[in-house]
Copies of this chain bind each other. A is one copy, B any other.
Amino acid sequence: MATSFYSSSFKRIKVSGGVVFLSLLTFFNTFAQNNILVFQSDFGLKDGAVSAMKGVAMGVSPDLKLFDITHEIPAYNIWEAAYRLVQTAPYWPTGTVFVSVCDPGVGTERKSVVLLTKSGHYFVTPDNGTLTLIAEQLGIREVREIDEVRNRRRNSNESYTFHGRDVYAFTGARLASKTITYEQIGQKLPNQVVSIPYQKPSFAQGRVQGTIPILDIQYGNVWTDIDKKLFNQLEIKMGDAIQVQVFNGNDKIYEGTVKYVNTFGEVKEGVDVGYFNSLLNFSLGVNMNSFSAKYKVFSGSTWHIILSK
């Protein structure tokens, strides 16, 4: 029960013999760390915090390849940290190690963990809700708690406020470079993570309801959590009109009609459209303009959307 993924697999190897051995090796390879370490935080890029984390990582192993998701997560916004992981991690190779540091509770009793997903990606982070969406989308293979006695930068015990540098970057780097195995992270925890509750999208009586988890900030598009399968129950054809209502809590912020398109270029500038974004979720946009700015529609757990024919 409490044995790790690796060791239980090894047991199976002993039982199974040659051919299985080979296919399991392939399996291991697939899940092996690949020297790629990807950082995300709410630190911003104006000071040296991100660089200190990367310096620590290069001190662990100069063979690591360091990348970023973003460091512009709004301060303390765990939900957005969770969303950015889902938006990007699936596009990185199996074995990639992610370090996510949005940690308003640094130094308190929240656990420091490493999630290994069924897809073979690793996530090093405080277990404070950051893993809500990625655990759901990629599946939990195993969760381990970081043993902060063994897995902590030397001489960093006096520092209480920068676990990103002293624990997470250090541990992520040691894991990605195979300086330690996944088992050496620390003890295995139950297969669950701390989750931020959110309303799942649904279809009923000819209407699809969903939430607006995030904006496509740069262009002002409005992203929902309604996927294509759900949307298709509305039986709206490409090019047809979609009735849209957007609420913030109980206040109706927007009511209108958008055209269902594949891509913006199908309509003239300034036309409102509904389309499926790069994560294949239903979204609202305006060709060459910002839907969010035009209609004062924003995102967060209080923002809801209703679609109908």
Interface residues of A (CB under 8 A from B): 34-36, 38, 42-49, 51-56, 58-59, 62, 65-72, 75-76, 84, 87-89, 91-93, 96, 104-109, 158-162, 165-166, 214, 216-219, 228, 262-266, 275-278, 280, 288
- B52 x A88 contact (CB < 8 A): yes
Distance in angstroms from A164 CB to nearest chain B CB is 9
Q: Which residue of B is nearest A156, CB measured?
A: B278
- A65 x B62 contact (CB < 8 A): yes
- Given A264-B104, A265-B107: A70 and B58 within 8 A (CB)? no
- B218 x A87 contact (CB < 8 A): no
Q: Which residue of B is nearest A36, CB measured?
A: B58
Q: How many copies does the complex hold?
A: 3
- Rank and list the top 8 A-B pairs by shortest CB-CB distance, nearest first: A107-B263, A108-B265, A162-B278, A55-B92, A55-B91, A48-B88, A48-B87, A44-B218
Q: Which residue of B is nearest A69, CB measured?
A: B51
Contacts of A52 in B (CB 8 A): 87-88, 91, 278
Contacts of A160 in B (CB 8 A): 262-263, 275-276
- A107 x B266 contact (CB < 8 A): yes
Q: Which of A51, A71, A75 has the most CB of B within 10 A?
A: A51
Contacts of A166 in B (CB 8 A): 278
Partner of A217, one of B47, B87, B265, B278: B47
Partner of A105, one of B47, B92, B165, B265: B265
Distance in angstroms from A92 CB to nearest chain B CB is 4
Contacts of A109 in B (CB 8 A): 265
